[in-house]
Structure 1
Amino acid sequence: MTPRSVQLARLHVRRRLTLWNWPGDIEDAVLVTSELVANAVVHGRIPGHELRLRIVELDDGALRIAVSDPVLAFPEVGPRTLSERGRGLVVVQQLTDSLDWFLRAGVGKTVRARLNTPKV
């Protein structure tokens, strides 16, 4: 789990969604992935442990992006200062239809975001 993980995750998601012909906003999905993976790298890093990225197209066409890390603490949403940092989950909330997180049986947590496809 390194800063390069963010770049690799963006490339993977862009490529995968393009191959799937996912009808949603791929750039929004890439940005959400980038923010979630960056949070895991910065706040969820424990040497010797891995980060897990999972993207799933749901039956209704929506996309679920899930990032798991080994830290049990839940993320805080919103900046506490005027700093440029600490705004990632606020951005994710603005771009997604839902954002949640849960513990994984003593091995860490998963943060999930859902992006719906446009109504036609």
Structure 2
Amino acid sequence: MTNPTELPPPPSAQLTHAWSTSYPMTPAAAALARKGARRRLAAWQWRGDADDAVLVVSELVANAARHGRVTGHHLWLRLAVTANGGLLVDVSDPVTDFPGFDGGAPAAPQGEGGRGLLVVRQLAQKVGWFPRPGQGKTVRALLPPTR
């Protein structure tokens, strides 16, 4: 197991908006999460780059659906806007560890897989993860209020 990199959430008093929902652990989860995130960010009139945020959501949800799948479980997506306008994206799945998070193998030059975390790291200010004992893990990305 890699050592977790925790990005603690700000106290709830420092959040202006928060929303969470679950998705089935299927390939369709990423598309559903993109639609839900885009709607939520528009409703909040979030001032950051919504396209970047939706891409981060999509990559993290796709990773959770692919690598965190456990029969009978769902993944959870949480979006929260911080007081300074940043966006927290949390994706939780039932698998506790995250092998390869801290400098795993580089993305292969061909193929579709292996680039999700690289994309997330390029778009987010910070990316980390932490185990939730007895429940799995959460991967967290913090996006800036504006780019």
Tell me the TM-score normalized by structure 1. 0.93
- Which residues of structure 1 form unaligned runs of 5+? none
Tell me which residue corresponds to 1:6: 30
Tell me which residue corresponds to 1:45: 69
* Count of residue pairs brought into register by the alignment: 119
| Structure with the larger helix share | 1
Between 78-87 and 19-28, the greater mean CA deviation after superposition: 78-87
Secondary structure of the corresponding residue to residue 61 of structure 2: helix
What letter corresponds to residue 91 of structure 2 in structure 1? V
Superimposed CA distance per residue, residues 49-85 of structure 1 (whole angstroms, 9 cap, x where no aligned partner): 1100000001111000000000112152453543431
| Structure with the larger strand share | 2
Kindly indicate whether structure 1 or structure 2 has the higher relative contact order, using CA contacts under 8 Å at least 6 residues apart. Answer: 2
What's the % identity of the aligned pairs?
Answer: 53
Tell me which residue corresponds to 1:69: 93
- Say which of 109, 112, 115 aligns to 2:140: 112
- Say which of 98, 118, 123 aligns to 1:90: 118
- Which residues of structure 2 form unaligned runs of 5+? 1-24
| 1:22, distance to aligned residue in structure 2 (A) | 0.3
Tell me which residue corresponds to 2:83: 59
Secondary structure of the corresponding residue to residue 41 of structure 1: helix
1:23 matches 2:47: yes
What letter corresponds to residue 96 of structure 2 in structure 1? L
Partners of 1:32 and 1:3 in 2: CA distance? 16
Distance 1:75 1:21, change over 3 A: farther
Secondary structure of the corresponding residue to residue 109 of structure 1: strand
Q: Please identify runs of 4+ aligned residues in structure 1 that moved more than 6 A.
A: none
What letter corresponds to residue 27 of structure 1 in structure 2? D
Partners of 1:50 and 1:109 in 2: CA distance? 12
Secondary structure of the corresponding residue to residue 47 of structure 1: coil
RMSD of Structure 2 on Structure 1 (CA): 1.4
Tell me the TM-score normalized by structure 2. 0.76
What letter corresponds to residue 82 of structure 1 in structure 2? P
Partners of 1:60 and 1:96 in 2: CA distance? 15
